[in-house]
Structure 1
Amino acid sequence: MTQTPTHPQAHAQITIPAKHPMVTILGSSDSLLRVIEKAFPSADIHVRGNVISAVGDATEVALIQRLFDEMMLVLRTGQSMTEDAVERSIAMLRANGSANGNGAHGDGHRETPAEVLTQNILSSRGRTIRPKTLNQKRYVDAIDKHTIVFGIGPAGTGKTYLAMAKAVQALQSKQVTRIILTRPAVEAGERLGFLPGTLYEKIDPYLRPLYDALHDMLDPDSIPRLMAAGTIEVAPLAYMRGRAHPTFTNVLTPDGWRPIGDLQVGDLVMGSNGEPTPVLGVYPQGEKDIYRVSAQDGSWTLCCGEHLWTVRTRDDKRRDKPWRVLETQEMIGNLRAAHARRYELPMLTAPVSFPEREVPMDPYALGLLLGDGCLTGSTTPSFATEDAELAQALEAALPGVSVRHKGGPDYVLNRVKSPGDVVTLENPVTGMLRELDLVGTRSHSKFVPNDYLYNTAEVRLAVLQGLLDSDGGPVTQNDRTCRIQYSTASIVLRDDVIALVQSLGGVAHTRRRPAEGRKQGSALAAHRYDSHVVDIRLPEGIEPFRLTRKRDTYHAAGGGGRPMRFIDSIEPAGREEAVCIQVAAEDSLYVTQDYLLTHNTLNDAFIILDEAQNTSAEQMKMFLTRLGFDSKIVITGDITQVDLPGGTKSGLRQVQDILDGVEDVHFSRLTSQDVVRHKLVGRIVDAYEQYDSRQDQNGRGGRNGK
C-alpha cells in the first residue's frame, strides 16, 4: 500500500536573464547560494548554466522562487546582494507569508523584500541609507505619514539612525527649517560632576552617538556651521524644557496683563494676530539664569537663555527667507552686523482684539481733553486749541454740552440747560470725568483709564487720535517717511500712549526734555515739569489723525512707513523662578511685556528624542506638548533598558497606554529580527528575553505557591 506524502512536492525552475551574471545571484564562491540552501534544508537546489531548479515542499519551493525574483528586482536597481540582505529577504518572505497571500499590511499591500531593500532615504558621501528589514520599512513609512512616531525596540535595530536619516532628508528637502536632537538629561551635577570641563564638555560624550550619526549623513565641515546657525541643535532633554519667563513676567490676556506664573491651562492669552488663544500647557521650570532682552524702541522683557525668539536678518528679508527661531543665548554677542542691529522681531499682524467695554465718554473726546483740556474740577471744564475744527468735533462728541468760545484759544464746556433745570446740576463733563477718576488731574498726572486702554481697537484708536490731534503732530523729513510726534508732561500718560500705539501694531520711542533751561511760554505751568516726547510709527491703514491739516500733512509725506523692532541688547538679569507656557496659536507666538512677541514651542522642526525609556512621565508629557506647527517628532527607546532611579516610572512605558489609538500618533515596534548590527546582538537580545520570561514565570509560580 502506497503512503500519500504529508506535504506535496513541487518543482520550480528559475531562469536568470543573461544581463545578470550568475555571480551576482549566487555570490562570490557561491556564498549567497549557501545562505539559501541553509535556510531551506529540505529543498534540493541545483544550478546549471543560468537555470536554477528547486525541488521540495511546495511552500518552500514557492518561497525560493519568490526569493530569486526579489533578488533580481534588487539587482535591476544597480544594488548588489549581500549575505545579510539575502537572510533578511528570506525572513521577510517568511514573516509576511508572501508565497501564500497572507501577511498583508494595514492598507492591504504586502511589502516585498525588493521594496524594502531599494527604499533609499538618504545618500551621503558614496553610501546610501535605507531600511534593511520589513519592520524598519514600516517604521520609516510611519515617519512619513504621522506627526508623532514612537520607535520601540532593542538596541541595534536602527531606531535612532533611521530617524536621523529622515530628519536630514526633511531638512535638505526644506520640509523643516531645523533639526533638534535630544536625550533625557543626565544630572550633570551628580553623575557627571566628577568630569573636568564646562557643562557642555561634560555632556558632550553622552550625546556622542547623535553626533556620530550626523557625521555619517552630512559633510562634517558643514555641521559646526549648521549648529552655530541653530539649524541643528543637539542638547539634553532638560535643556529643551527651559524656555521660560520669570513667574512675574506680564503676558497679555483679554482682560489686560497677568503674571505668567498665574496662568493655568485653558486661560486665554493674546496671539500675534491680536486674537485670544488658549494656553495648552504650563510648566514650572524652577530657578534659572535670566536675561533682559531689549529692543531699540525701549521695549523689553525677561526670559531664560534657552527661550525662543522668532527673528530674521536683513539678508533673510532680502533673500525672501522665512523667519528663523533662535534661543536667547544663541544671539548673545551677535546682535550687530556692520554696526546695524542684526535681528528683527515680528510685529502684531493686526491690532489686539480686546472685548468691548462700556465707557461714559466718547473716546475721541476723552483724547482731546487729556491733551488740551483743563480737568482740575475747581472750575468749569475747559479746552484750549487754535483749531476751531477740534472745538466743533468735541462738541459733536459730547451730547448735552456746548463748547463756547471764550476768546483766543480758550473754550468753556457748558452744560446745555433745559427749562426747569436747577443751578446745582453737575456739568455732564465733570460727571464723566469723576466716573473715570480724572477730576483733579493736571498736565503731569493725566492718564488713560483702563476701560479705554483695554477696549476695542476702534475705541483705542479714537483715544489716540484725540491725543495726537491735540498734543501731537506729523514730523516731515526730506526723502523719508513721516513720523508722528507726541509730547506730554505726564509720565503715566506717556506710557499709556505707548501702550495704545503698541496695541495697534505700532512702535514708539520716547525721550525726555528737561524743564530746566527751557524758555518759558505763556502757559508757565507747562514747563514746571519735564516733557516726554514720543516718536510714533503706526502700521499702514491705521489713521493717526482726524484733524484735517495734520492728516493732510501726514499723507502728503507718504505716511508713517513700516513699524519695525530690532533686538538691541541682551544682558544678564540674575536668577529667578521661571515658568513656560504653550499656546494654541498657529505660529505659537504670544504677547508678552511691552507687546513683544515671543514663543517657546518648536515650529518647522524635526525633533528626535533618543533613549526615551529614561524619561519620567512628567518629562515625556512636557516634551510631547512642546510640539509646534509643521513639526515632526520621533521618539525612540528600549523599554527593557530603563535606567531611572527606583520608583520612577518610565514615561515611554506609560505613554503607550495613554496615546495608543490617538490619531496621528503611531507606535512602531521592532524586535530582535530587526537588529542590523552583528548577528550576535540579535541572539543576545533573544536570550535575555527568554531569561526574563522564565524569571517572570518562576516569580508567578512562587507567589502562587505561597
Structure 2
Amino acid sequence: MVTTELPSPPGPETLHEALVEFPDNRLLIDLCGEYDRNLAEIEQNLGVQILRRGNQLAVVGEESVAREAIEVLQALYQRLETGKSVESGDVDRELRMGAGADQTGTRDGDQLEMFRGGRVEIKTRKKLVEPRTDAQKAYVKSLFASELGFGIGPAGTGKTYLAVAVGVSMFIEGHVDRIILSRPAVEAGEKLGYLPGDMKEKVDPYMQPLYDALNDFLPGKQLAKLIEEKRIEIAPLAFMRGRTLANAFVVLDEAQNATSMQMKMFLTRLGEGSRMVITGDRSQIDLPRGVTSGLHDAERLLGNIPGIAFNYFTARDVVRHPLVAAIIEAYEADTPS
C-alpha cells in the first residue's frame, strides 16, 4: 500500500486529501464492500469523503480525521491479505479501537497466541471471534488471566457471548474438560404460568440465549453430542447446589437475578482447575421487591480480593444495533441518581 499526501488549498477549514493505493484490486473490492457499504460506514462515522480512483482510494477531510480513516482502511486491507473476510462488525471494531492496537499481549501459554501483535482473537470450531471495543478486549484478556472474572454492564455489550467463546476455545484446546453454563430461572417482569413438558422442556426457554451462543461456535452435531455426553451442561442456577465444579469452564449469566444466598452458593462451587465467569446487568433486576441482588453483594464483598477480575461495560460498548446504545443512554439519563 502506498499513501500519497496531496496539497490542500488554504482556507479557514482546510480539507486534507490523501491517496491510498492498494495493489490487489480483488481485495480492494472486498475492502469497499457490496455497494461500497464499508466505505459508507467509515464516511458516516468519521465525517470524511472516500472516492475510488482505479486501485486507489482518495480520502478527503480534516487532516487528523483523514489520517484516522486511512489507518482504518489499511488495517482492514491487511486483514484481507491474511485471508480473513471484512464484515460490518470488522469495520465497526477498527473504528472503535483504531488500527494502532496496543502491543502488550505477551502472556505465556499456547492458548494465548491470540494476543500476538496486540490483537485478541478467540478461535472456535465455526468462527474466529474478535472483541470490538477496548472494554471487550480487556474483558477477554482477564478471562484467560483470572480464575474468577465478572462482566458487568448493559445489554448488547457481549458479556455472555465472549465468555462462552472463551469457554469453547479453552475446551477445544484441552485446558478444561467441561463447559457448564447456568442462569437463574427468573421471569423478566411477567408471570408465564406453568410451562408444559418435562424438566428440560420447562427450563430450556430460560436457557435459550446460552444455546444460541454455543450454536455460533460449535457445529450442530458436535454440540448435540457434547451435550448428550454432559461435557457441555446448561442448567438453572438452582441445580448447582451441592456440586463441586472441577476442571470446568463455568459461566453464570444474568447474575443480577441471583439472590445473595444463590450467589454465595454458586461462587463456592469453584473447584480445582476450573474457571468461572459471572455476567450481569444491574439495570435489569427481576427479583421481587426487597430482595437484594447477589451481583450487588458480590461487587461489594469481593472487589478487593486479588485474583478476582471485575470488568465493566457502558453503552459505548454495545455491539448490537446502534439504536440499542441510544436506548440504554436514554434510560440511564432518566434514572434518578
Q: TM-score range by the shorter chain?
A: 0.7 to 0.9
In the other structure, the counterpart of 1:205 is 205
In the other structure, the counterpart of 1:15 is 21
SS of match in other structure, 2:125: strand
- Evaluate the alpha carbon distance shift between residue 178 and residue 48 of structure 1 in structure 2; reply closer, same or farther with a 3 A threshold: same
In the other structure, the counterpart of 2:74 is 69
Question: Between Structure 1 and Structure 2, which shows a larger proportion of helix residues?
Answer: 2
Following superposition, the deviation at residue 640 of structure 1 comes to: 0.7
Following superposition, the deviation at residue 634 of structure 1 comes to: 0.9
In the other structure, the counterpart of 1:25 is 31
Opposite residue 25 of structure 1, the aligned amino acid is: L
- Evaluate the alpha carbon distance shift between residue 47 and residue 170 of structure 1 in structure 2; reply closer, same or farther with a 3 A threshold: same
1:670 matched to 2:313: yes
1:689 matched to 2:332: yes
In the other structure, the counterpart of 1:236 is 236
Cα distance in 1 for partners of 2:136, 2:11 equals: 39
Cα distance in 2 for partners of 1:81, 1:192 equals: 42
In the other structure, the counterpart of 2:58 is 53
In the other structure, the counterpart of 1:504 is none
Q: How does 1:246-257 map to 2 (within 5 A)?
A: none
Cα distance in 1 for partners of 2:273, 2:324 equals: 37
Cα distance in 2 for partners of 1:22, 1:236 equals: 48
Cα distance in 2 for partners of 1:78, 1:232 equals: 31
Opposite residue 132 of structure 1, the aligned amino acid is: R
Following superposition, the deviation at residue 607 of structure 1 comes to: 0.4
In the other structure, the counterpart of 1:129 is 129
Give the conservation status (yes or no) of the 8 Å contact 1:123–1:129: no
Say which of 250, 269, 275 aligns to 1:632: 275
Give the conservation status (yes or no) of the 8 Å contact 2:164–2:214: yes
Opposite residue 682 of structure 1, the aligned amino acid is: A
Following superposition, the deviation at residue 218 of structure 1 comes to: 2.7
**Structure 1: which 5+ runs fail to align?**
244-599, 697-706
Following superposition, the deviation at residue 48 of structure 1 comes to: 2.2
Instruction: Choose 1 or 2 for highest CA Rg.
Output: 1
Following superposition, the deviation at residue 160 of structure 1 comes to: 1.3
1:655 matched to 2:298: yes
Q: Over the residues paired in the alignment, what is the CA RMSD in angstroms?
A: 3.2
**Structure 2: which 5+ runs fail to align?**
1-9, 107-113
Opposite residue 654 of structure 1, the aligned amino acid is: D
Q: How far does the alpha carbon of each residue in 1:356-390 deviate from its partner, in whole angstroms, 9 at most, with x for none?
A: xxxxxxxxxxxxxxxxxxxxxxxxxxxxxxxxxxx
Q: How far does the alpha carbon of each residue in 1:633-676 deviate from its partner, in whole angstroms, 9 at most, with x for none?
A: 01111111011111112121232232224222112222333333
Q: How does 1:261-300 map to 2 (within 5 A)?
A: none
Following superposition, the deviation at residue 192 of structure 1 comes to: 6.5
Q: How does 1:357-506 map to 2 (within 5 A)?
A: none
Cα distance in 1 for partners of 2:258, 2:12 equals: 54
In the other structure, the counterpart of 2:178 is 178
Give the conservation status (yes or no) of the 8 Å contact 2:18–2:66: yes
| TM-score, scaled to structure 2 | 0.82
- Evaluate the alpha carbon distance shift between residue 231 and residue 685 of structure 1 in structure 2; reply closer, same or farther with a 3 A threshold: same
Say which of 77, 92, 95 aligns to 1:90: 95
- Evaluate the alpha carbon distance shift between residue 51 and residue 214 of structure 1 in structure 2; reply closer, same or farther with a 3 A threshold: closer
In the other structure, the counterpart of 1:38 is 44
Cα distance in 1 for partners of 2:262, 2:283 equals: 19
Give the conservation status (yes or no) of the 8 Å contact 1:602–1:631: yes
Cα distance in 1 for partners of 2:46, 2:230 equals: 53
* Identical positions, percent: 40
Following superposition, the deviation at residue 11 of structure 1 comes to: 4.4
Following superposition, the deviation at residue 7 of structure 1 comes to: 7.2
In the other structure, the counterpart of 1:227 is 227
In the other structure, the counterpart of 1:348 is none
Give the conservation status (yes or no) of the 8 Å contact 1:150–1:666: yes
Cα distance in 2 for partners of 1:668, 1:195 equals: 35
- Evaluate the alpha carbon distance shift between residue 21 and residue 640 of structure 1 in structure 2; reply closer, same or farther with a 3 A threshold: same
In the other structure, the counterpart of 2:244 is 601
Cα distance in 2 for partners of 1:78, 1:61 equals: 26
Give the conservation status (yes or no) of the 8 Å contact 2:185–2:236: yes
Following superposition, the deviation at residue 193 of structure 1 comes to: 5.8
In the other structure, the counterpart of 1:160 is 160
Opposite residue 200 of structure 1, the aligned amino acid is: K
Cα distance in 2 for partners of 1:688, 1:151 equals: 20
Following superposition, the deviation at residue 8 of structure 1 comes to: 7.2
In the other structure, the counterpart of 1:79 is 84
Cα distance in 1 for partners of 2:134, 2:164 equals: 19
Question: Between Structure 1 and Structure 2, which shows a larger proportion of strand residues?
Answer: 1
Give the conservation status (yes or no) of the 8 Å contact 2:89–2:132: no
Cα distance in 2 for partners of 1:44, 1:221 equals: 47
Following superposition, the deviation at residue 19 of structure 1 comes to: 5.7
Q: How far does the alpha carbon of each residue in 1:215-261 deviate from its partner, in whole angstroms, 9 at most, with x for none?
A: 333333344443343322221111101x2xxxxxxxxxxxxxxxxxx
